[in-house]
Amino acid sequence: MSINIIYRNIIRFFILIFLQIFIFNNINVTSFGIIPFVYILYIILSPFETPNWLLLITAFFLGLLIDIFSDTLGLNSSASVLIAFIRPWILNSLSPRDGYEVSTFPRIYYQGLVWFIKYAAILILFHQIAYYFLDAFGFDNLGLTLIKVIIGSFITLSIIVLSQYIVYRK
């Protein structure tokens, strides 16, 4: 990884934390209290060459910082570490026959819309399931929790795909 990519990832880390804390945490999409989680875009957009141990550590601190400012007691950090943990398997299962090209990234521009939606949707769905089931801490309100997972996943995926077209243009 070049030093330029490392700087961009550090800047993206802090920008996404800022956006999540000051903008998206203040948006309640429904009366159920569903919040779009755009900070996971950092994990989704991390370069293919990022070592797994580094991604796990940064996912933990990313989630921890969101937890501190959101008062969510480890929900974001545990859900973030989960998707950072399963990301290599998702990337492996979605990889092209010849593998990923060197110096490409998991973005719409490089991999295509269909690939990106599959990849991001799987990670977002796992994040939402972990977050909302840990928040509910049981299966008492299973229907409500599943509604939160589905709506939250759709809204987060929509914002993330839209951000790809706004920020990462050709």
* Pair 43, 61: CB distance under 8 Å: no
CA atoms within 13 A on the CB side of 131: 28
Task: List pLDDT tens digits, range 113-169.
Answer: 999 999 999 999 999 999 999 998 877 888 889 999 999 999 999 999 999 888 866
Instruction: Average the pLDDT over 7-17 and give the result.
Output: 91
Q: What are the structural domain ranges in the chain? A: 3-167
Phi, psi of 95 (to 5 degrees): -70, 145
Q: Which fold has domain 3-167?
A: Arp2/3 complex 21 kDa subunit ARPC3 (1.10.1760)
With 70 as the cut, is the pLDDT of residue 37 above it? yes
Q: What is the DSSP letter of 66?
A: H
With 90 as the cut, is the pLDDT of residue 25 above it? no
pLDDT band of 20, cuts 50, 70, 90: very high
Q: Which long-range contacts (CB under 8 A, 24 or more apart) does 155-159 make?
A: 155/29, 155/34, 155/36, 156/36, 156/37, 156/38, 156/40, 156/124, 156/127, 156/128, 157/117, 157/120, 157/121, 157/124, 159/36, 159/38
pLDDT of residue 124: 97
Instruction: Average the pLDDT over 20-33 and give the result.
Output: 82
pLDDT of residue 168: 67
Task: List pLDDT tens digits, range 50-107.
Answer: 899 999 999 999 999 999 998 888 999 999 999 999 999 999 898 877 777 777 788 8
| Residue whose pair of structure tokens reads 């700087």 in the numeric block | 7
With 70 as the cut, is the pLDDT of residue 9 above it? yes
> From the CA atom positions of the chain, what is the Rg in Å?
16
